[in-house]
Copies of this chain bind each other. A is one copy, B any other.
């Protein structure tokens, strides 16, 4: 096996567990939060800065890297670890989600997807085999199967169930093709992805199809595509236990603090989300009491850090809300860099505390420390409500 997963502790009150995944590029603790370095760059942050946040594993997007710099460059430069100077574990998605959601799609059929490159407008063909080839070139430690992620019911109300069924069957067939194309090296672990939209029966059918294959890990895909939070949590609670208990479970593209906690308690081990960096660039700083909008005039003369309890390089380094606000008002990109750094550390501190809470089921204590989780009655504070911007 390219990776090994050890469960260290199982919560008694919930399905949550702590563990450790060993990869060819080192270990990471679970439940794990993976910040997203889409194009082999964590936007404004150096790998050293990302490491300072306690991030142990990061994510690259195969879709972006395939189009730019291209497979040839990544291959000749020795893969993404060497290319971006990140020596820890890396996970790549298959490119499927982006091909479906971000592209001018020319055609989707049982073979794969044809879409227009956002780089040069050329037609690009993405198939299970091509996705494996791309992910082999990138060289991530964990790679994802190429799946068919159906749109949400809101975006596709007519014939939704049929579209979900079709996606499930394609996802299963494409998974087999991925497995056939995947060189079983010691280096790269292939995860399967469960689809099924918001249809409980289809979630069960997809989980059965996908877990028939003996793989080192399994993911829950097709959530956070437009459904309500309640429905998303329900689908996660329903799907997680359908995945093998001894294998890592990865929830793709989620989410806010409450979403992570819900999923952890359902037995999910891995997460990725662009929120810390994307919102950081928009002057949204996460805190344990909810986000701060740093452009707000109320911070003009505020000498305090984003969060006094935070140990990130920004808060512990003495950068004030006043200074951060100034950077955003003056379009100085250092503001985006600093708040991204804080935000990633925010999520890593949360995961650290969640891992601690799992050990002795101290969920109430966790809720006290993190009012944003909504476990305790709301406490008044600087929180200003959640940003609606989803992952």
Interface residues of A (CB under 8 A from B): 39-46, 48, 64, 68-69, 72-73, 76-78, 82-85, 300-301, 303, 313, 317-320, 322-323, 325-327, 329-330, 332-335, 337-338
User: Are A317 and B77 CB-contacts (below 8 A) given A41-B330, A43-B332?
Assistant: no
State how many angstroms separate the Cβ of A200 from the closest Cβ of chain B. 40
Residue ID in chain B nearest A68 by CB atoms: B330
Query: Are B84 and A43 in contact, with the CB atoms below 8 A?
Result: no
With A and B bound together, what is the CA distance between A333 and B323 in angstroms?
A: 21
Query: Are A76 and B330 in contact, with the CB atoms below 8 A?
Result: no
Query: Are A327 and B77 in contact, with the CB atoms below 8 A?
Result: no
Residue ID in chain B nearest A42 by CB atoms: B334
Query: Are A327 and B41 in contact, with the CB atoms below 8 A?
Result: yes
User: Are A83 and B334 CB-contacts (below 8 A) given A44-B44, A76-B301, A300-B69?
Assistant: no
With A and B bound together, what is the CA distance between A50 and B69 in angstroms?
A: 29
- Give the 7 A-B residue pairs with the shortest CB-CB distance, closest first: A41-B332, A69-B326, A41-B334, A39-B330, A44-B333, A83-B323, A68-B330
With A and B bound together, what is the CA distance between A78 and B322 in angstroms?
A: 11
State how many angstroms separate the Cβ of A50 from the closest Cβ of chain B. 11
Chain B positions within 8 Å of A303 at CB level:
76-78
Chain B positions within 8 Å of A301 at CB level:
72-73, 76-77
With A and B bound together, what is the CA distance between A85 and B73 in angstroms?
A: 39
With A and B bound together, what is the CA distance between A68 and B44 in angstroms?
A: 23
State how many angstroms separate the Cβ of A101 from the closest Cβ of chain B. 19
Query: Are A85 and B317 in contact, with the CB atoms below 8 A?
Result: yes
State how many angstroms separate the Cβ of A304 from the closest Cβ of chain B. 11
Chain B positions within 8 Å of A325 at CB level:
69
